[in-house]
């Protein structure tokens, strides 16, 4: 029976080699590039609305991640972390005279702290696309947010979906930087849209006019 | 009897020596720089210029490297002309000069300047002229064949490849104080690059985009009057 030993050893070695090769191939095919997003949105150059608002940040804003599966290529995992929440916090602090962060919508409605509005921002989606010969030579990113606003009587003021688009030139051997740049540009684009277009939403304009009338009316 | 040694050079070297100078001459660029200027454009020591790129949601767009090149080149040759860093300007003016919100025509400028704080912020940056860059460099044609081989005895390539790039850029100059277009500078540059390969590929690259950058920056410096024409010199 001793003569069978070498054969077993060879078979074991073959198995190990096959296993390593398979693991390597699997590892290559399932390769994922992780991209943490760090950005600071500049200070917006706008006049704030003279209102006191409560903001309830959707939990998804504080730790958002998106994985884009690329067929036959590297998958990309974009980690936005709390970048969205920091962005909204900065924008709202310049868009309104006073902003108070609350832990829930119910708290904002129940506390009766004299909020003119309660705002609830959320992230809906992030899509990214690497360069493609047929479509675009750039890394591209699309980001979609939803901003719900209610008056103090819980009546909806606006349910607004706002998007941002960004693209960046690919860099040789460094797709992470280009994808980071595209995502940051998309966030900045959305931020610019929020700052400029929030006040232009028809229902928001009506609410602003209503607030102006209320604040102008003499108190009894 | 020993045969007399052939003193002639190998065929590859002879070909290379024959066509080399021709190729060096041929790997050049052909530039056309034009400008249209509104009379009465003058810049004083306090005025600055900022170079921005137009963004489009399609494949063709001014390359970030080109914008950077024009900005650096203009700062180098512009003499007294102050070139404001574009990222600092865009951040300072947020959200009014973002790709999706920047004014597309000068007609939109008065409304933009009426927004609270915008006029003051522009005054703080010192920027009077905004130069909008538009255009790109594209590969318009290519040809030739080349094959490479590797063996235990060595390796090498044989063949000939070429490609032609066209760099078409346009710079539109806005005067923020008058909310009007003061002029336009364009650069149309084409260049053909060659790569003969006799064992080793020898790239003879026509630096089309770099030539467009130099041409455009030089013309902008003259346009904005930062430096007398003779002081800029040739490339």
B80 in contact with A, Cβ within 8 Å = no
**What was the ipTM of the complex prediction?**
0.80
Number of C-alpha atoms within 13 angstroms, CB side, residue A106?
Answer: 0
Q: State the average pLDDT for chain B.
A: 85
Confidence band of A215 (pLDDT split at 50, 70, 90)? confident
Structure-model confidence comparison of residues B58 and B93, the more confident one: B93
Give the orientation angle of helix B208-223 with respect to helix B64-77, to 10 degrees.
50
In chain B, what residues touch A41 (CB-CB under 8 Å)? 94
Residue B164 reports pLDDT greater than 90: yes
In chain B, what residues touch A143 (CB-CB under 8 Å)? none
In chain B, what residues touch A178 (CB-CB under 8 Å)? none
Q: Do B95 and A137 touch (CB under 8 A)?
A: no
Q: State the average pLDDT for chain A.
A: 85
Confidence band of A153 (pLDDT split at 50, 70, 90)? confident
Interface residue of A41, A42, A47, A178 to substitute, partner B, most B CBs within 10 Å: A42
Largest Cα–Cα distance in chain B? 99
Bridge partner residues of A93 (DSSP): none
% of chain B beyond a pLDDT of 70: 83
User: What mean pLDDT do residues B86-115 have?
Assistant: 94
Q: What is the pLDDT of residues B202-232, one digit of tens each?
A: 999 999 999 999 999 999 998 887 554 544 4
Task: Parse chain B into domains and list their residue ranges.
Answer: 20-228
% of chain A beyond a pLDDT of 90: 52
Sort strands A96-101 and A49-55 into parallel, antiparallel or unpaired.
parallel
Distance from C-alpha of B92 to C-alpha of B50, rounded to nearest angstrom: 12
Structure-model confidence comparison of residues B167 and B154, the more confident one: B167
Q: For residue A148, what pLDDT is reported?
A: 96
Q: What is the pLDDT of residues A166-176, one digit of tens each?
A: 999 887 767 88
Residue B6 reports pLDDT greater than 60: no
Residue A61 reports pLDDT greater than 70: yes
Q: What fold characterizes domain A31-216?
A: Double Stranded RNA Binding Domain (3.30.160)
Distance from C-alpha of B212 to C-alpha of B33, rounded to nearest angstrom: 8
Pair of tokens at residue B63: 């390359």
Residue A9 reports pLDDT greater than 60: no
């Amino acid at each position: 029976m001793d003569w069978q030993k070498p054969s077993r050893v060879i078979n074991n070695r073959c198995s190990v080699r096959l296993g390593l090769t398979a693991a390597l191939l699997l590892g290559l095919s399932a390769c994922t590039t992780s991209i943490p997003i760090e950005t600071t949105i500049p200070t917006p150059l706008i006049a704030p609305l003279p209102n006191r608002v409560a903001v309830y940040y959707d939990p998804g804003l504080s730790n958002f991640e998106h994985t884009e599966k690329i067929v036959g290529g590297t998958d990309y995992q974009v980690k936005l972390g709390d970048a969205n929440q920091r962005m909204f916090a900065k924008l709202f602090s310049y868009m309104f005279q006073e902003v108070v962060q609350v832990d829930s919508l119910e708290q904002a409605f129940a506390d009766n702290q004299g909020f003119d509005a309660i705002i609830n921002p959320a992230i809906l989606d992030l899509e990214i696309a690497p360069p493609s010969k047929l479509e675009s030579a750039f890394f591209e990113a699309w980001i979609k947010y939803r901003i719900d606003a209610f008056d103090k009587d819980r009546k909806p003021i606006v349910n607004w979906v706002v998007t941002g688009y960004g693209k960046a030139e690919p860099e040789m051997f460094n797709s992470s930087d280009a994808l980071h740049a595209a995502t940051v540009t998309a966030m900045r684009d959305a931020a610019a849209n929020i700052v400029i277009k929030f006040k232009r939403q028809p229902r928001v304009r009506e609410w602003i006019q209503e607030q102006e009338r209320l604040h102008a009316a003499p108190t009894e | 009897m020993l045969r007399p040694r052939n003193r002639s050079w190998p065929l590859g070297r002879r070909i290379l020596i024959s066509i080399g100078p021709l190729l060096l001459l041929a790997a050049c660029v052909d530039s056309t720089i034009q400008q249209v200027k509104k009379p009465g454009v003058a810049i004083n020591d306090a005025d600055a210029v900022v170079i921005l790129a137009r963004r489009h949601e399609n494949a063709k767009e001014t390359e970030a490297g080109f914008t950077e090149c024009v900005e650096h080149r203009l700062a180098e040759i512009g003499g007294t002309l102050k070139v404001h860093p574009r990222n600092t300007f865009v951040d300072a003016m947020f959200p009014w000069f973002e790709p999706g919100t920047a004014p597309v025509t000068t007609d939109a400028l008065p409304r933009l300047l009426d927004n609270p704080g915008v006029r003051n912020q522009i005054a703080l940056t010192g920027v009077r002229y905004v130069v909008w860059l538009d255009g790109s460099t594209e590969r318009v044609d290519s040809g030739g064949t080349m094959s490479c081989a590797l063996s235990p005895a060595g390796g090498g390539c044989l063949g000939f490849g070429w490609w032609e790039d066209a760099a078409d850029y346009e710079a539109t100059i806005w005067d923020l104080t008058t909310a009007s277009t003061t002029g336009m500078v364009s650069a149309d540059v084409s260049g053909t690059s060659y790569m003969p390969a006799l064992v080793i590929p020898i790239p003879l690259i026509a630096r089309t985009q770099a030539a467009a950058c130099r041409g455009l920056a030089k013309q902008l410096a003259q346009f904005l009057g930062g430096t007398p024409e003779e002081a800029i010199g040739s490339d």
